[in-house]
Structures are given as C-alpha cells and as structure tokens.
C-alpha cells in the first residue's frame, strides 16, 4: 500500500489535474496566437521591421512584469489570473475587429500583445502552483506540467495551420479568445473547488539587491554572459528563419501553417529532451551538456551557411528553441546549486531578469545597425562568432563550477 505522502486525496488530485489542464490551455492559446500574429505581420511588413518590435517587446515585458510584481504581493493570484485573462481576451477582440477593417498598423500592436500576455499568464501560473503545491509533490508534478504544456503547444501549433487554411489566419485568432475565457473561468473554478486562493506572502525585493550580489560574484557575471550570448544566438537564428519564411511562403495561410508546423516540431523535440534530461545529464555531465548544445547548433548554422536552404535554417530554429526549453535550462539551473544563498536568490533573479531582456534588446540594436549599413547577410557571420563565444564562456564556467563542487 502506498504511503500517505505518496497518496493523493480528492482535493489534491483535483488541484494538480486542474493545474495541468490550465497550463495546457495557456500554451495552446499561445501556440495559436504566435504563428498567426507572425504571419499577419509579414503580410504587411518585412522581417527587417522585427528588431524594432523586439525592442518594444523587451520594454513592454519589463513594464508588465514590474506592474504584476506590485499587485501580486497584495492581491489574490486567482483574481489576477482571471483579470489578466479577461483583459487579454478583450484587447484581442478589439484588435481583431480593427484588423477586419484593414488597419495594418494594428499588426504591430497584435505582435506586442502576443508576447506580453503570455509572460504574465505563465508567471501567474507558476506563482499559483508554487503557493499551492507541496514540495514533495512538485518534484514529480512540475515535470509533468512542462510536458502537458508542451502538448498543449503542439495541439495549438498543428491546429492553427488547419484553422488558417479552412478559414483565414485572422479568424483563427478567435480561438485564442475562447481559450483565454476558458482559462480564466477554469482558474476561478479550480480555486473554488479546492478551497485555495493562491495568495502569496513572498517578500518584496529590489532589483538593486540582486545587482549588489552580482558585483561580488565573477561566477554570476560569467553565467549572465553565457545566458545572454545564448539568447543572442537564438534571436539571430529566429531573424534568419523569419526572413526565410517570408521569402519562401508568400501565401498568408500557407505561411501560418509552416510557422505552426515548425513550432510543433519545437514542442515535440522539447518534450523528448525534457524526458531525456536526467539520463543525458547523468551520461554526459553538466559540462558535457553545456558544451554539446552550442556545438550542435554550430553544425546546423554552418550547414545553412554552406547550403542556404529553408530546411537548414528551420533545423537551426527547432534545435535552438528546443535546447533552450530543456537541456540548457536544466543544466544552467544546476550551476546555481553550489553557490551561496544570496547568489542563488537575489543574484539569480537579477541574472535571469536582465540577461534575457538585455540580450534581446542588444541583438535588435545590432540587427538595426546591419540593416542601416545594408549588410543584413552579416547576421550569419555574427551568429557563428557568438557561437564561438558561447563555447569559450562555457569552458570558463565549467572550470569554475568544478572548482566549487
């Protein structure tokens, strides 16, 4: 007979299964929204406009996360989730009505909306889970949540192509409105049925607290440089992939389907790697995994440089995102374990917050400079150079990690 710690009572089972359904719906909505909005954007503008958008997304993400952090300290997370779901759905309805009257500039707002709403909903989901799921359950269920979320992403990514070709890319986004509505109502029902509110009492921390920790830790500086460099590579590959999609698939519905298929491939590869993360790290070690990732990405990028075909850059896109969502994330987190408590908390928060946003903004500025010089093709050479830097930083970090363990 299973021990009481392993057994699930009815309320716990409902809560955990409900959270799994919730993450499925959230990522399914994003999987429909992302290919559709990217395809609609390319119907009116070129990939050369993307760096400007990415700068706006970075600034917008920082603003909405700051606003969320202010409210989350004093407000019930369920109420926040319902409010964000409702507001996101309402904004999308207004954008769809505006786009149906042929206002192409709204595709900029739509793209920005797509990247902002998912940041907040995912943050609320994990805060909600962290405040309601015991640690001994989380060790097993959090991995399952990631897999179920990836399955939701696959369902949305494969479904959006069918929806776009059956109706239109614009009309496919009405599915997102429905998914957001169901998610908001589902979160409220889950809290009511299981008797929890998902309130949080985590202390407020200033961003400067993390910076003070970072100043005295060379290891954190190297780790932030590694994360930033990896995101520069991923963003550059993303730009080259989007440019290739625009050149090879001028039809909007077909382009939406291609985006969906590639993102579904990312989800499938990510699930496979997530399930294999433990054995892979045990076999290769953290150092081996961290070196393998830029090495394999380098091969795919060199393949595209030698044979500039769509399939080659699509492989690079799938590999870069799938590794980022699985092996790289897990190995990166292990690097924090031997650090001091301040480094693992305030320092980590600063690194994670700043590295991703600074990398996206810096890459966008770099791409804008290349476009201004009329040399966008140099993005490929910059990608290769950043991959070499990624490998060098990994070697340095592995040495310091070995010295600490």
Residue-wise pLDDT for 101-146, tens only, equals 877 789 999 999 998 898 888 877 877 776 666 656 655 666 677 7
Mean pLDDT of the 192-204 span: 57
Q: What is the mean pLDDT of residues 183-200?
A: 71
Checking if the pLDDT of 394 tops 70, the result is yes
Element containing residue 26 per DSSP (H, E): helix 10-44
Q: CA–CA distance from 30 to each of 116, 248, 337, 389, 399 (Å)?
A: 11, 24, 32, 32, 39
Q: Which stretch of 41-50, 329-338, 367-376 has the lowest confidence by average pLDDT?
A: 329-338
- Please, is 391 exposed, middle or buried when counting C-beta atoms within 10 Å of its C-beta (0-12, 13-18, 19+)? middle
In 10 A of CB 306, how many CB atoms? Answer: 9
Residue 1 CA to residue 9 CA, distance in Å, equals 15
The per-residue pLDDT of the chain, averaged, comes to 83
Look at residue 81 in the predicted model and tell me its pLDDT: 82
248, HSE (Cβ side, Cα atoms, 13 Å): 16
Contact 179, 307 (CB under 8 A): no
- 366-380 tens-digit pLDDT: 999 999 988 888 999
Query: Coil, strand or helix: which one is 57?
Result: helix
Confidence at residue 404, expressed as pLDDT on a 0 to 100 scale: 67
pLDDT tens per residue, range 47-92: 888 889 888 887 887 777 777 766 665 666 677 888 889 999 999 9
**20-44: average pLDDT:** 91
Give the mean pLDDT of 275-289. Answer: 86
pLDDT at residue 205 in the model: 54
Phi-psi region of 322 (alpha: psi -120 to 50; beta: other; left: phi over 0): alpha
């Amino acid at each position: 007979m299973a021990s009481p710690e392993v057994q699930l009572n009815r309320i716990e089972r409902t809560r955990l299964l409900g959270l799994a359904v919730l993450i499925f719906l959230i990522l399914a909505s994003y999987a429909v929204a992302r290919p559709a909005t990217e395809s609609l954007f390319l119907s009116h503008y070129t990939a050369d406009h993307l760096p400007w958008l990415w700068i706006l997304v970075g600034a917008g993400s920082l603003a909405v996360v700051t606003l969320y952090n202010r409210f989350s300290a004093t407000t019930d997370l369920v109420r926040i989730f319902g409010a964000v779901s409702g507001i996101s759905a309402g904004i999308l309805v207004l954008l769809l009505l505006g786009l149906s009257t042929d206002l192409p500039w709204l595709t900029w707002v739509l793209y920005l909306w797509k990247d902002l709403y998912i940041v907040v909903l995912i943050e609320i989901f994990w805060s909600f889970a962290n405040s309601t799921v015991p640690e001994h359950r989380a060790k097993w269920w959090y991995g399952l949540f990631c897999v179920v979320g990836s399955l939701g992403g696959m369902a949305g990514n494969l479904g959006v192509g069918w929806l776009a070709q059956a109706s239109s890319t614009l009309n496919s986004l009405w599915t997102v409105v429905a998914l957001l509505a169901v998610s908001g109502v589902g979160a409220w029902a889950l809290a009511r049925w299981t008797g929890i509110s998902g309130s949080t009492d985590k202390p407020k921390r200033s961003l400067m607290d993390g910076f003070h920790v970072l100043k005295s830790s060379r290891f954190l500086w190297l780790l932030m440089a590694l994360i930033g460099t990896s995101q520069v590579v991923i963003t550059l590959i993303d730009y080259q992939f989007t440019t290739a999609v625009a050149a090879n698939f001028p039809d909007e519905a077909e382009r939406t389907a291609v985006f969906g298929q590639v993102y579904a491939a990312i989800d499938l590869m990510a699930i496979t790697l997530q399930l294999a993360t433990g054995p892979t790290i045990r076999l290769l070690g953290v150092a081996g995994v961290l070196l393998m990732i830029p090495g394999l990405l380098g091969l795919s990028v060199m393949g595209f440089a030698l044979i500039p075909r769509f399939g080659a850059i699509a492989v690079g896109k799938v590999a870069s995102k799938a590794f980022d969502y699985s092996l790289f994330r897990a190995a990166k987190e292990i690097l924090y374990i031997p650090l001091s408590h301040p480094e693992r908390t305030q320092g980590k928060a600063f690194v994670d917050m700043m590295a991703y946003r600074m990398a996206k903004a810096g890459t966008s500025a770099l791409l804008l400079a290349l476009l201004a010089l009329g040399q966008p093709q140099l993005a490929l050479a910059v990608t290769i150079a950043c991959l070499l830097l990624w490998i060098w930083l990994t070697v340095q970090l592995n040495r310091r990690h070995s010295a600490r363990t």
